[in-house]
Structure 1
Amino acid sequence: MLNKRISLIALGMLSATQAMANDQAESKGFVEDSSLKVLLRNAYINRDYKDGNPDKAEWGQAAIGTFSSGFTQGTVGVGVDAFGLYALRLDGGKGRSGAGGIDFFKQGDSGSAANDLSKGGAAVKFRLSSTTLTYGDQMPALPVLNYDNSRLLPESYTGTLITSKEIKGLELNAGRFTAESRKSAEGRDSGGLKSINVLGGSYQFTEQFKAALYASDVEDVLKKQYVNANYVFPIDKDQSLTLDFNGYRTKLDDSYVRESGATGDDNKIWSLAATVVTGPHSFTVAHQRSTGDSNLGYAYGGYQKDQGRVGDGGNTIYLANSYWSDFNAEDERSWQLGYGLDFSAFGVPGLSYNVAYVRGDNITTSTSEGGTEREIFNQFKYVVQSGPAKDLSVKVRSSILRVSQKSSEYNVSGNELRVFVDYPINIF
């Protein structure tokens, strides 16, 4: 059914005759609008696990090159996107690598992580008016299929994606992807994904109000729906209140329930966050709730073959209380208090700080009910504002996560440290 819907919406996008926008008419040419960028990334993650679990850590240096051409001129423009990735392991060999939540370098049969890895990909793209069809290797960023770029190298997917922006404020997306490239391994089909269909869009109703609705179907795994509503209330100069609602509903396929050992097939999870900004300060209060009969809670991301996950992107969790823990267990309820500070108001532009405390309770596992977890999250980030190192960023974040014994089947206690240094270079 979703295949038919994607085909119909794609046909409608490409045959639109009363477009309100026409990006193709503004095309300067294949070469003239092209860009080549390189991101140099040095990343380190250390997880000091508690309760007798071995510590894990990985450290690596990466180079991420991306090329994006412009579109040829004419009624239908043609272009090419391509990327090349290389990572060198600096630490995290046998015994230290292998944590699913880190996953810089995939372990081999010997238990040792690879010394380095390299891969690339390319896609061809076509544009008619303000509708673009892209086929090939891509990094989609949608609420139901969002590639993970929060580790050393990014994930990528192979398939077709149509993006339409014919009407001002409205973006529609339809796509089908048939291969997933794991962020820690070489090859185009290292993630175990059979296929995923995606469909949906977002609309900016007013300057203050935006909403989105998306759906996906991961073959032989699950079907997922997502809804978002975001409203910004201007209060005064440099003051505002933002209300942000996000919700997912997932339904596991019967075959996946049997294979994964899940106790149920249904999960609903939502979060509502209220953020007050006044000058350089921001204050956040959020509540998140998971319901349903699946002991997997809200399932997303990961790699089916070796992690028992679903393969729809490591960042496919647009929820307020997702830090180290996602607070997405069966029946879990969680609350967050957060604070942010922009130091530019104090003469240090580019420096920011965020802290959050999240507590979850009512966790259900196969052996217990009423489990709890709590996390304290801290992050400093600095972006160089000028000079030869302009745009270089340093991000240091830490989490202290404590999980009750009742919840040990769902999560594990520990202390986490992440240090990321990103240096983007615009070659042209």
Structure 2
Amino acid sequence: MTFTLTRPHKPIHSLFYTGVLLGLPFQISAADNDFFNDATATLQARNYYFSRDFSDIVGANQQSKSEEWAQGFILNVKSGYTPGSLGFGVDVLGQLGFKLDSSSSRVNTGLLPTGSDGKAADNFGRIGAALKARLSKTELKIGELTPNLPVLTFSDIRLLPPTYQGASLVSQEIDGLTLQAGQFHSGSVLNEAGDGKMRAKLGHVAQLGGDAETDRFNYIGADYAFNDKRTSAGVWYAQLKDIYNQRFYSIKHSEPVGDWVFGANLGFYDSKEDGDRLLGDIDNRALFSMLSAKRGGHTVSVGYQAMFGDDAFPRVFNNVSPLGNEVPTYEFAGADERSWQVRHDFDFSAIGIPGLVSTVRYIRGNNVDTGGGFEGEEWERDLDLGYTFQTGALKGFGVRVRNVTARSNYRTDIDENRLILNYTLTLF
């Protein structure tokens, strides 16, 4: 069995203690500090079936179906901090995926790596560690990271989540204000074992050819929550060096009125080319809004999203984004696109079935500048149903089903099904 790691293979406990010994300036005593007492470890087992049927195929790839089944394991170990005003610790993240079913005619689901022979790998994985330091309410991490930022969203959308290698700083010294900054020099995408330079995606088109790759993603941002934490505002800046830079502004609000809770989420991105312009000029401004009303187990939402400028919305490949109308299959982020969404979520605990939830949504987009002399149009309908066992031997075991129909006059039509089984075991 072959197993590729991002770093030379070491047992997890060896990597854990080696990182601690190298990173800490003094000996640790388990009896009188929180380094061990506050440590946690979980092992998540994820079984993932993914299927996409394609029709009216647009593009060079004429593959009519992607269908694979895989088993993944995610080990997450987090230490506490050493004593003193300046505390040190270490986090370890290990990931391993196994092929259960695939063929050369059904690859490229994003669950498994595809080799040069056109076949999915039997297994793949990676392991990494991050040293961390905490002073007051400010924390620095250096190493293997899983950021979740408006400008680089945590995209846990397949078998194993992507990771990035670099440094992050989070400070919450002022009540309600969160300041963040960081730099990443490489990334590990969701279906690969190794790490490498980062590339971009414009709308639904991945920019994987040529030399448009970089070893720097820089960001800085601030979020401030006020009004009893019911309102928050954010300002962010990000740079995928020599490809694009991006500014993001957001405001969110939640307002209880009797038995109802009304919500609003507004955001605006302003993106353009950066430095050496490895993808040429980039001109995009993206506005999104989502309004919601919740009562009992029901939440009804309506969203509007608009792209302005000559290009589609840019982001790091292969990440999702917080755009209001970005959904599992289509992004609704093409050049000049306008899109609308209607969504209904229901928590069945309101009628005595805790653990069961559902989501139904419909999105329609038009006004896409296809570059082909005609207006692009598209729509998508999603149905999600999930259940987590609340008691008994299967307590904590989750089942999730997703069915998607997506249609377009300028890109490939897709019928999609997913079945995800998930269980997280707490080790300590």
What is the TM-score normalised by the length of structure 2?
0.85
Aligned to 1:376: 381
Q: Secondary structure at the match of 1:142?
A: coil
Match of 2:174 in 1: 167
- Distance (Å, rounded) in 1 between the aligned partners of 2:389 and 2:348: 13
1:298 matched residue in structure 2: 313
Does residue 288 in structure 1 map to residue 305 in structure 2? Answer: yes
Match status 1:63 vs 2:73: yes
394 and 69 in structure 1: CA distance in 2 versus 1, 3 angstrom threshold = same
Given residue 278 of structure 1, which amino acid in structure 2 is its aligned partner?
Answer: R
How big is the shift at 1:87? 0.3
Pairwise CA distance, 1:66: 0.5
CA distance in 1, matches of 2:308, 2:226: 30
Establish whether residue 425 from structure 1 lines up as the match of residue 425 from structure 2.
yes
Deviations 1:222-272 (A, max 9, x none): 1011111111111113x111011122111123744xx54x6x411011111
Aligned to 2:269: 248
Q: Contact (CA 8 Å) 2:78, 2:91: kept in 1 or not?
A: yes
Kindly report which structure 2 residues correspond to 1:70-219, keeping only aligned pairs within 5 A, or say none: 70-98=80-108, 102-189=109-196, 191=198, 193-207=214-228, 208-219=230-241
Aligned amino acid, residue 84 of structure 2: G
Which runs of 4 or more aligned residues in structure 1 lie more than 4 Å from their structure 2 counterparts after TM superposition? 190-193
Match among 343, 347, 356 for residue 342 of structure 1: 347
Moved more, 275-284 or 381-390: 381-390
Q: 1:403 aligns with which of 402, 405, 408?
A: 408
Matched letter for residue 313 of structure 2:
Y
Q: Which runs of 5+ in 2 are unaligned?
A: 1-31, 199-212
Retained in 2: the 8 A contact 1:42–1:421? yes
With the length of structure 1 as denominator, give the TM-score of the two structures.
0.85
AA paired with 2:129? A
Conserved in 1, the CA contact under 8 Å of 2:35 and 2:82? yes
Q: Aligned match of 1:35 in 37, 40, 58?
A: 40
Q: How many residue pairs end up in the alignment?
A: 376
> Corresponding residue for 1:3?
none
Find 2:282's aligned residue among 262, 265, 268: 265
Deviates more, 1:39-48 or 1:205-214: 205-214
User: How big is each residue's C-alpha offset from its partner over 1:283-308, in whole Å with a ceiling of 9 and x where there is no partner?
Assistant: 111100001112xx002132xxxxxx
Distance in 1, matches of 2:419 and 2:388, equals 14
Change (3 A) 1:95 1:170: same
* Secondary structure of the corresponding residue to residue 350 of structure 2: helix
| 2:9 paired residue number | none
Aligned equivalents of 2:159, 2:91: Cα separation in 1: 21
Against the structure 1 CA distance between its residues 39 and 417, is the aligned structure 2 distance closer, same or farther, given a 3 Å change threshold?
Answer: same
Question: Following the alignment from structure 1 to structure 2, what is the Cα–Cα distance between the partners of residues 415 and 301?
Answer: 25
Give the fraction of aligned pairs with identical amino acids, expressed as a percent: 31
Structure 1: state its 5+ residue gaps: 1-26, 303-312
Matching of residue 229 in structure 1 with residue 251 in structure 2? yes
- Describe the SS at the equivalent of 1:345: helix
CA distance in 1 between counterparts of 2:78 and 2:67 reads: 34
Distance 2:372 2:251 in 1: 36
Query: Partner residue of 2:8?
Result: none
Corresponding position of 2:206: none
Q: Deviation string for 1:42-74 (max 9, x for gaps)?
A: 011111111154111121000000100000010
- The question of whether the paired residues in 1 share the 8 Å contact of 2:113 and 2:124 is answered with no
Contact 1:268 1:290 in 2 (8 A): yes
Distance 2:310 2:382 in 1: 29
Counterpart secondary structure, 1:271: strand
How many angstroms does 1:384 deviate by?
1.3
- Report how far residue 387 of structure 1 moved: 2.3
